Amino acid sequence: MGDHHHGPAKGLSRWLFTTNHKDIGTMYLWFSFSMFLLGGFFAMIIRAELFQPGMQLIEPAFFNQMTTLHGLIMVFGAIMPSFVGLANWLIPLMIGAPDMALPRMNNWSFWILPPAFLLLASTLFMEGGAPAAGWTFYAPLSTTYAGPSVTYFIFCIHVLGLSSIMGSINIIATVMNMRAPGMTYMKMPLFVWTWLITAFLLVAVMPVLAGAVTMMLMDVHFGTSFFSAAGGGDPVLFQHIFWFFGHPEVYIIILPAFGVVSQIIPAFSRKPLFGYDSMVYATASIAFLSFIVWAHHMYTVGMPVAGELFFMYATMLIAVPTGVKVFNWISTMWRGALSFETPMLFSIGFIILFTIGGFTGLMLSIAPADFQYHDSYFVVAHFHYVMVAGAVFSMTAAIYFWLPKWCGRMYNETMGKTHFWISFIGFNLAFFPQHFVGLAGMPRRIPDYALQFADFNMMSSIGAFIYGASQILFLYNVIATIVAGDPVSDEKVWDGAEGLEWTLPTPVPYHTFETPPLVK
Amino acid sequence: MGFKAKRLCKLALGPVLLFMSVIAMAAGGEASSINMTPGVTELGREIYDLHMIILWICVAIGVAVFGVMFYSIIFHRKSRGVTPATFHESTTVEIAWTVVPFFILIAMAVPATTTLLTLYDTDDAELDILITGYQWKWKYEYLNEEGENVSFFSNLRTPQAEIYNDEAKGEYYLLEVDQPLVLPVDTKIRFLVTANDVIHSWWVPALAVKRDAIPGFINETWARPTEQGIYRGQCAELCGKSHGFMPIVVNVVSKEEYGEWIAAKQSEATEVKQLTSQDFTLDELMVRGESVYDTSCLACHGGKGEGGVGNAIAGSAVATGDINAHLEIGINGVPGTSMQAFGGQLSDVDMAAVITYQRNAFGNNMGDSLQPIDVYNYKKG
């Protein structure tokens, strides 16, 4: 073996120069959690200001910076990197590969993220403040009417896009080339399938976003008029380009979450996943449909009626494969032998709340009704049901599910269950009332509101504070587990868990599957 | 059922029951604070019905799906000593739950299509109104009236003191304007919606109208209110700092009342035109200028000219410098800043008054003044 080293290097250089998929996965997860806390802190500021009518704590201009940064950081800094971290940790273990296919690029795609977000956060201290045009940054509010920080924001988006594209190429290369002998595509765990499809979505749409922000850059600094009608351009073009990226983006966020839940539900039902094949086909259909529905975010923009009808029908169709997924999860539970450890609780919470978000999504797809829903708090409630109760709940479930395997220590189950119930109650208290104020006419992204919305907003703020506080408990539980959790040494930490990662020793060694396993 | 299962059953059903009861509450009552308003137009009632049908379909599916799930959670527990089944596919069932939702969707799409076609049918309107969004106010222009064209701005009327909690908030806090849009009842009104700076969106829930106001585009929509009354809405598209502070108030009145109102507005417009050729004393200009300042300048430049978002006016180089340079900024704004071009927003009389006011208030004792005719000539070049 000679100079082959088997353990990690020591000190800072271990993390700075690592090409180990587990180290990089860990860094992604900690980074995304810190971004989750930062984005959450901004959300707390927003909810504190909205606690009662009137301006109390912050100024309207700063409020807009908070909503903008909250959205950008949660989408690009918290949720997306967290699933990339999970992919790094799990895909090689699940397909029996020794590491990712492109380990040095893996290091690079992580390490460009922290500077990008540092740059984004630093805009808060610039003259004119941080970007304030919303996470959707519609032109011309984000171009002609934006402060000087928009240039830094554009650079940040470019770097994030670069990171995502490199990460996706890595995942595609790994899944296509490094599967263990016998691991055919239709034997891959669903988490690997959903990530493979997600990676293709990312490679397809991140360049579109890069194009959009480059056009913004040209408009701001080089005198072009892509998005300015006065110069022959078109502000609506920005929205078309943005949502051509933005709609696949929401599936980029939710598909890996589907994958996670498809691993956890069978484990705690002690029964194989129902309808594996149809799960794969449903994921692929959702991915395909995601490219032809973007303009349902723009029903009120003044499209011709034929376009409006096309996007309405296409959007409604998404309910079919999504329904298939929900039915399959429930059929997996049916006549299983269920137990309700924390990962299962979060997964069931995911199914219930994501389905509610799916229902409101179906309502929003109905174009004529959307003329009342659009840009109201009903939309805010809808996408928090799918983003938070969807993506974040499933991510939380994933951490509780795999953390004992990774570090060989068990988390505190009572604390985990407490975390679930506080999260579940806090989340619903925060976001369910937003359906009502939205339907009753409260627009989104306003720093102050009319008196009839006061009660529900106060409930919503209290719920948000509860949900926010529950994440501190989560952080404590995770650290306590890593430092001093009860040791576990069973290969299968959970008796119902299936898959190659559970054949490895616990805790998982630094290098795994140096000899590929044989999959029957 | 064991004690533990019973307890869990209660815990699990709690949120479902809460959800159901809330939905049931949402379904009752017309002007609800928890549900969409049917509003005062035929189209609004159609949209409301569509919304309720789809809501109930979703509730029904939800009850069925969650019902099965909770049955499983309660009865298929490991703690009850069950042996897990091993089935993992069923082509028949899988085809059924792909095809059945498809037909449910078709059933939803049919009424949705009809309503959407109605929503897009702007033909045969009896009155055209051009709505222009500005940062942060609305401008209304009545287009096909005979005689003088009527147009005016509609600004937030809620005082800053209420917003910053120095005074008790009024009943229509943030939903009140200085000049509402006045519409005749039982008349098909076509709204032409556009914007002057960034994208806004004109939303009045009771009229079931929401249209994006986009600079360089003119969007069309319509409403035919069938009941008189005052209806309130807000800008729905993020448009900058004061996005939450540009409400919409629509006053639907009888056709007779509308006729009188529009006639009064027309003579007012004629009067303003005549005023342009009149001479004013400094005092007259100062009085008029103060009220113009309060509605158009105060939000950015402060109540004492001390500045804020905008530069200070008290002692500023502009307000104490060349009067024509001052007027130039008033008319054309300062590109690239939040100082807008007010030339199209203020009448020549108001422009002359407010420039004069700024030069002679807040300790700026310039003693000079502008007459409306000076503004008129400056604009003509």
Note the pLDDT tens digit of each residue in B100-109.
999 999 999 9
The residue-averaged pLDDT of A24-48 equals 97
Note the pLDDT tens digit of each residue in B189-228.
999 999 999 999 999 999 999 999 999 999 999 999 999 9
Active site residue A494: no
Query: Which is more confidently placed, A97 or B306?
Result: A97
CB neighbours of residue A285 within 10 Å: 18
CB neighbours of residue B361 within 10 Å: 18
Note the pLDDT tens digit of each residue in B135-189.
999 999 999 767 667 889 999 999 888 999 999 999 999 999 999 999 999 999 9
Q: Would you say residue B25 has pLDDT above 60?
A: no
Determine contact: A345 vs chain B, CB below 8 A. Answer: no
Is residue B351 classed exposed, middle or buried when 0-12, 13-18 and 19+ CB atoms within 10 A define those classes? buried
Rounded to 5 degrees, φ, ψ at A240 are -60, -45
Question: Same fold for the domain at B3-120 and the one at B127-272?
Answer: no
Confidence at A9, pLDDT banded by 50, 70, 90: confident
Determine contact: B376 vs chain A, CB below 8 A. Answer: no
Give the bridge partners for A436, in sequence order.
none
CB A120 within 8 A of CB A65: no
Q: What pLDDT does residue B52 have?
A: 96
User: What is d(CA B183, CA B233) in angstroms, rounded to the nearest whole number?
Assistant: 15
How many CB pairs below 8 A link A and B? 283
Query: Which is more confidently placed, A163 or A128?
Result: A163
Query: Which is more confidently placed, A363 or B24?
Result: A363
Nearest to B76 among A53, A334, A450 (CB): A334
Give the bridge partners for B48, in sequence order.
none
Q: What pLDDT does residue A269 have?
A: 95
Active site residue A193: no
Catalytic residue from among A21, A47, A179, A247: A247
Any domain includes A236 = yes
Question: Does A312 contact B109 at a Cβ distance shorter than 8 Å?
Answer: yes
Residue of B nearest to A132 (CA): B240
The residue-averaged pLDDT of A346-362 equals 96
The residue-averaged pLDDT of B355-370 equals 89
Tell me the CATH architecture of domain B127-272.
Sandwich (2.60)
The residue-averaged pLDDT of A130-156 equals 94
CB A131 within 8 A of CB A153: yes
Confidence at A517, pLDDT banded by 50, 70, 90: very high
Contacts of B34 in chain A (CB under 8 A): 436, 439-440, 456
Which is nearest to A257 in space by CA: A90, A359, A428, A387? A387
Task: For CA atoms B215, B216, B221, B227, give the dihedral sign.
Answer: positive
Any domain includes A5 = no
The number of domains in chain A is 1
Note the pLDDT tens digit of each residue in A415-444.
999 999 999 999 999 999 999 999 999 999
Q: Would you say residue A375 has pLDDT above 80?
A: yes
Any domain includes A179 = yes
The alpha carbon of residue A237 is apart from the nearest alpha carbon of chain B, in Å, by 12
Tokens of B100: 């059945």
Q: What pLDDT does residue A298 have?
A: 96
The alpha carbon of residue B250 is apart from the nearest alpha carbon of chain A, in Å, by 15
DSSP helix/strand/coil, B188: coil
User: What is d(CA A491, CA A306) in angstroms, rounded to the nearest whole number?
Assistant: 57
Question: Does A271 contact B172 at a Cβ distance shorter than 8 Å?
Answer: no
Q: What pLDDT does residue A1 have?
A: 39
Determine contact: B164 vs chain A, CB below 8 A. Answer: yes
Tell me the CATH architecture of domain B3-120.
Orthogonal Bundle (1.10)
Q: What pLDDT does residue B74 have?
A: 94
Q: Would you say residue B21 has pLDDT above 60?
A: no
How does A295-316 read in b/e, with b if 16+ C-beta sit within 10 Å? bbbbbbbbbeeeebbebbbbbb
Any domain includes A9 = no
β-pairing, B247-253 vs B209-213, is: unpaired
Question: Does A330 contact B72 at a Cβ distance shorter than 8 Å?
Answer: yes
Q: Which of residues 193-212 of A touch B (CB under 8 A)?
A: none
Contacts of A141 in chain B (CB under 8 A): 198-199, 238-240
The alpha carbon of residue A435 is apart from the nearest alpha carbon of chain B, in Å, by 8
Q: What pLDDT does residue A12 have?
A: 87
Nearest to A141 among B35, B66, B238 (CB): B238
* Torsion angle in degrees (nearest 10) through CA of B91, B93, B99, B104: -170
Q: Would you say residue B3 has pLDDT above 80?
A: no
Q: Which of residues 301-360 of B touch A (CB under 8 A)?
A: 309, 336
* Torsion angle in degrees (nearest 10) through CA of B260, B266, B271, B273: 180
Is residue A119 classed exposed, middle or buried when 0-12, 13-18 and 19+ CB atoms within 10 A define those classes? middle
Element (H, E) at B223: strand B219-223
β-pairing, B181-184 vs B247-253, is: parallel
Contacts of B169 in chain A (CB under 8 A): 53-54, 451
- CA angle centred on B60, ends B56 and B66, rounded to 5°: 135
User: What is d(CA A100, CA A148) in angstroms, rounded to the nearest whole number?
Assistant: 40
B interface mutation test: which of A289, A373, A439 has the most B CBs within 10 A? A439
CB neighbours of residue B20 within 10 Å: 14
Residue A223, domain CATH? 1.20.210.10
Any domain includes A441 = yes
Nearest to B84 among A132, A312, A337 (CB): A337
CB A517 within 8 A of CB A503: yes
Rounded to 5 degrees, φ, ψ at B231 are -120, 140
User: What is d(CA A150, CA A147) in angstroms, rounded to the nearest whole number?
Assistant: 6
Listed in sequence order, the DSSP H helices in A334-453 are 342-365, 367-373, 377-386, 393-407, 413-439
The residue-averaged pLDDT of A335-362 equals 96
The residue-averaged pLDDT of A147-163 equals 95
Note the pLDDT tens digit of each residue in A249-285.
999 999 999 999 999 999 999 999 999 999 999 999 9
Note the pLDDT tens digit of each residue in B330-342.
888 887 677 888 8
Q: Would you say residue A113 has pLDDT above 60?
A: yes
Nearest to A363 among B58, B169, B215 (CB): B58
Return the CATH class of domain B277-380.
Answer: mainly alpha
Determine contact: A308 vs chain B, CB below 8 A. Answer: yes
User: What is d(CA B8, CA B12) in angstroms, rounded to the nearest whole number?
Assistant: 6
Any domain includes A11 = no
In chain B, what are the domain boundaries? Answer: 3-120, 127-272, 277-380
